[in-house]
Amino acid sequence: MGPTHMTKHWGRAVPNAASETLARAAHLYYVLGLTQAEVAKRLSITRFKVHRLLAQARETGMVRIEIDVPFAERLELEAALMERYGLTAAFVCPSDETEDMPLPIVIGQYASGIVNDLLRDGQTVATSWGSTLLALARSIDPGAVQQLSVVSMIGSLSTRSSQDKYEAASVLADRIGAECFYLPGPILCDNVDAKKAIESQPVVQTAMKKAKEADVALLSIGGSEMSSLRLAGVASEADYDSATKAGAIGNFLGRFIGKDGAVIDHPLNALCLGIGPEDIRQIPVRVLCAGGKHKVAAIGAVLRREAATILVTDEDTAKALT
């Protein structure tokens, strides 16, 4: 930097002092890299004045900080989502869907990294299911945390066994070596009485209680088509049609929800086993992992209800949501 033998002071040195001092200060500080105190000395003004001058230089656009980060758009989207939906955090991954890597898998894998960092030893994780959460569970880092408890929030998709290796809960517990609390029963019961009977079982009560008291919830959204529910054959085409007619735009925790994000009034919802949207508010960290064109409306509706505190989604969905 400049010469070293500097003892004297000088400063305002010209008729149109105001603007020249401003320019001089900005130049000394931002270009030559002097400290505010050094600038002050050279201009024989106080440090405070220099500080105010620099603020002015920034405000008037004389000095700009340009940033050109890769992923800039995604980061912007994250900030926008947080702002718009009052989220604690939002994560947006690229929307690079491929033949053997459909969007739910992409998002699930991306989310796994986030959840890895989120979890702490000894915590309880409540999870629902779906292809996204399954992908998440499959790529979770084993050994990232110890003493984890995993608990199902809703009944099983599989009609055969509650310990299905296609359910997020079991895969997650398996990989991470955690104890696992299942909800032994189907997601959709045959009738209201059957549901009541299952619900009243102590095991189910315990699991549901534990789920409600979890530290972290992993959530997803079933869209209006191709949901796991439909694919698993648990809900029929006719069921879906009638739900859609009744205003369903998606499926959240097994329940069909409407435009406003609320559970709609539909017979199928009465048969749904497990804790519902209204029960998860007390779980402090609720991570919603979902993306895809046909899920946008439902995601937006759920977020507007503040059902989630963290969102993990893809770029296209994020754009649609902001």
Partner DNA sequence: CACCCAGATGCACAAATGTGCAATGTATGA
Partner DNA sequence: TCATACATTGCACATTTGTGCATCTGGGTG
* Distance of alpha carbon 252 from alpha carbon 308, whole angstroms: 11
Binding mask 83-122 for DNA (x = CB under 7 A): ----------------------------------------
Please pick, from the candidates 27, 49, 84, 259, the single residue that binds DNA as defined by CB under 7 A.
49
Among 26, 54, 216, 219, binds DNA (CB under 7 A): 54
Among 19, 35, 60, 88, interactor with DNA by CB under 7 A: 35
How do 285-289 and 149-152 pair as beta strands?
A: unpaired
Q: Kindly state whether residue 259 participates in binding DNA, applying the rule CB under 7 A.
A: no
Give Cβ neighbours of residue 211 (< 8 Å, ≥ 6 apart).
126, 151, 152, 153, 181, 183, 274, 275, 279
73 contact partners, CB below 8 Å, separation of at least 6: 315
Please tell me the distance from the alpha carbon of residue 45 to that of residue 27, in angstroms, as a whole number: 15
* In contact, 124 and 209? CB cutoff 8 Å: no
Q: Can you tell me which of 48, 86, 125, 138 binds its own copies, judged by CB under 8 A? A: 86
Residue 321 binds to its own copies (criterion: CB under 8 A): no
- Nearest CA among 177, 135, 127, 178 for reference residue 156: 127
From candidates 50, 53, 57, 77, binder to its own copies by CB under 8 A: 57
Q: Which residues contact 172 (CB under 8 A, 6 or more apart)?
A: 125, 127, 136, 137, 140, 150, 178, 180
Q: How far apart are CA 201 and CA 203, in angstroms?
A: 6
* Nearer to DNA (CB atom), residue 48 or residue 71: 48
Using alpha carbons only, what angle is made at residue 204 by residues 142 and 243, rounded to the nearest 5 degrees? Answer: 90
87 contact, one of its own copies, DNA, none, CB 5-8 Å limit per kind: its own copies
Q: How far is the CB of 80 from DNA (least distance, A)?
A: 23
Least Cβ distance, residue 48 to DNA (angstroms): 4
14 binds, among its own copies, DNA, none (CB under 5 to 8 A by kind): its own copies
Residues in contact with its own copies by CB under 8 A are: 2-3, 5-15, 17, 19-20, 22-24, 26-27, 30-32, 42, 44, 57, 61-72, 75-76, 79, 82-83, 86-89, 91, 93, 110, 113-114, 116-118, 284-285
